[in-house]
Structure 1
Amino acid sequence: MTYLLLSILFSTSLFVIFKYFEVYKVNTLQAIVVNYIVAFVLGMFSANTFGKLATIPLQPWVYGAMFLGFLFIVIFFVMARTAQENGVSVASVAGKMSVVIPIIFGIVLYHESITPLKAFGIGIALIAVYLSSVKEEKEKANGGLLFPILLFLGSGIIDTTLKYVETNFVQVTDVAFFSGSLFGFAAIFGILILVGTQLVSRKKLSFKSVLGGIALGIPNYYSIVFLIKALQTKGVESSTLFTINNVGVVVVSTIVGLFLFKEEFSIKNKIGIALAIFGIILVTIA
């Protein structure tokens, strides 16, 4: 469970860093691309595998890493459009509720256990994610359902693919190499998109974006590494792990927002946090 707790903490730190991006007016797209480059370099350095870069196309997980890298970039833009078109709360709920997809795949594809207590705990956790994420917005969301649905499906596909590739192709000793490689593919796709947008907007790469990308890239890399290591822990089913991980991030992020950024929370949010803790306890016991 140590790896799972570390993954939750590093994932939560990403929300804190994004919050400071807003405060210091950091160009999010530029910082995101720099973040992937930093995560790639960190992964290769951690695994001491710069000399093995030429072997990436020969690795059994190369197509999985390429697909995940592409999804990282695409879902980021879908998340941004969802927030713009439908509102921040809709984007948050759609992204976090996607945990149901890897849970279902874990039960169906890997024949993971599903007891009444576990099913009840997962149900409570999903309700908790919604209640703790939804915010009272002043303006009505005018967007349609296309982007929220794409965000829901895309986020779920990322978690499910990560589990599938890790289970079938990634050796325990290759976690850092694999993680760095998928961030490398994300960086390549991101650079292509950034170059295209730069040609249109003519905005130069700012020093703040580089610093922000470095600050984001380090915890982003370790959040993935520790999640993969947690998935490789024997005796822990992915349906249980993804539930605890996703709900744990919601709980810790909410607590950080409350104390660090003095965010206001409704009665729904408070009930959601209480249910989240209850749901985690039920799933863990089950």
Structure 2
Amino acid sequence: MIYLLLAIAASTSIIVLFKIFSRLKINTFSAIMVNYVVAASFGFLSEPGAFLVSDIPSKPWFWLSIATGLMYIVGFNLFALSAHHAGVALTGMASRMSLIVAVLAGVLVFGDQPGMLRVSGIILGIIAFYLTFHRNRLADVDRKLLLLPLALLIVHGFSDLLMKIGQHYYIDGDFTLFLATVFTAALVFGFVFIFLGYRKKVRFTYKEVLGGIIIGLANWYSGYFLLLGLNIFDVSFVIPMINISIVTAASLVGYMVFKEKLKLLNWVGLALALVAILLMMQ
């Protein structure tokens, strides 16, 4: 369980860092690019065993790591687009409801058998997401733009699913190398997006570099402890538990540290999230 707690702490810190970035006017995409450099470098340097970079393409998980890296950078860009056009609340809800993909895959592909308490916790968690992110502005959103958060839900869900597939079938202990290759792939695809012109406003000042270093370490540990958690628990438990806990922790940090206002419905959502966590732990 300690791995899940550490993954939750690392993931929550990433959300908090993004809040700080917006206040300090840090170019998020630039910081993300630095983050991938740091995460990949830290991963390769942390590998306890001897390895040759030239041997990595022959690993059974290599192409899976490339696909996962692509999902990472596409997911980030979708998050930015969705937050801009469909709103932050709806985007945040969609990114966390990606747990639906993990739960379905866990049952249909990996043979997970969640009991009634876990299923009840997952359902409560989904309701909690809606209430926690509720902002009364969904009616103002163009229905066509709702495709953005829907696409984000699918991409985030498949990112988690690819991590589970790698852990279950291919990695065989190569957690560090696999994850470092994922971040390297995300970095390469990020440069491709810049080259193709999808990201024109990119700058690298000391703020972007420092922010990228900090978030890179948090991102590394978030992914690493997620893999370790998936190696022990069912995916239909790990992903919902992490997502529900992140929403709860990030909302409370936002309220206490950043003085973000929460309505009654938001508080009800947080209460339901806590109940959902307790049910899933039984």
Q: Does 1:13 align with 2:13?
A: yes
| Cα 1:125/1:138, change in 2 over 3 Å | closer
Cα shift at 1:16: 0.9
Match of 2:241 in 1: 244
User: What TM-score, normalized to structure 2?
Assistant: 0.94
CA distance in 2, matches of 1:133, 1:171: 38
Q: SS at the partner of 2:52?
A: helix
* CA deviation profile, 1:177-206 (whole Å, cap 9, x unmatched): 1111100111111122234449955x5432
Cα shift at 1:65: 0.4
Q: Which amino acid aligns with 1:159?
A: D
Cα shift at 1:49: 6.2
Q: CA RMSD in A?
A: 1.9
Cα shift at 1:134: 2.7
Q: Does 1:39 align with 2:44?
A: no
* CA deviation profile, 1:23-62 (whole Å, cap 9, x unmatched): 1111111111111111000100111568521111011110
* CA deviation profile, 1:131-164 (whole Å, cap 9, x unmatched): 1123355993336222111111111111111111
Give yes or no for contact 2:31–2:208 (8 Å, CA) kept in 1. Answer: yes
CA distance in 1, matches of 2:258, 2:42: 29
Give yes or no for contact 1:40–1:180 (8 Å, CA) kept in 2. Answer: yes
| Cα 1:60/1:264, change in 2 over 3 Å | same
Give yes or no for contact 2:194–2:200 (8 Å, CA) kept in 1. Answer: no
Q: Does 1:111 align with 2:79?
A: no
Percent identical residues: 32
Q: Structure 1: which 4+ aligned runs deviate by more than 6 Å?
A: none
Q: Which amino acid aligns with 2:57?
A: P
Cα shift at 1:269: 1.0
Q: Which amino acid aligns with 2:189?
A: F
Give yes or no for contact 1:121–1:279 (8 Å, CA) kept in 2. Answer: yes
* CA deviation profile, 1:60-80 (whole Å, cap 9, x unmatched): 110110001011111111111
Equivalent pairs counted in the alignment come to: 281
* CA deviation profile, 1:74-108 (whole Å, cap 9, x unmatched): 11111111111111111011111111110111011
CA distance in 1, matches of 2:251, 2:87: 18
Match of 2:170 in 1: 169
Q: Which amino acid aligns with 2:271?
A: A
| Cα 1:49/1:66, change in 2 over 3 Å | farther
CA distance in 1, matches of 2:17, 2:50: 28
Match of 1:278 in 2: 275
Match of 1:123 in 2: 123
Q: Does 1:254 align with 2:251?
A: yes
Q: Which amino acid aligns with 1:52?
A: L
Q: Does 1:29 align with 2:29?
A: yes
Q: Does 1:134 align with 2:134?
A: yes
Q: SS at the partner of 1:281?
A: helix
Cα shift at 1:280: 1.2
CA distance in 1, matches of 2:200, 2:220: 30
Match of 1:61 in 2: 61
CA distance in 2, matches of 1:171, 1:219: 24
What is the correspondence of 1:68-87 to structure 2 with a 5 Å cutoff? 68-87=68-87
Give yes or no for contact 1:44–1:50 (8 Å, CA) kept in 2. Answer: no
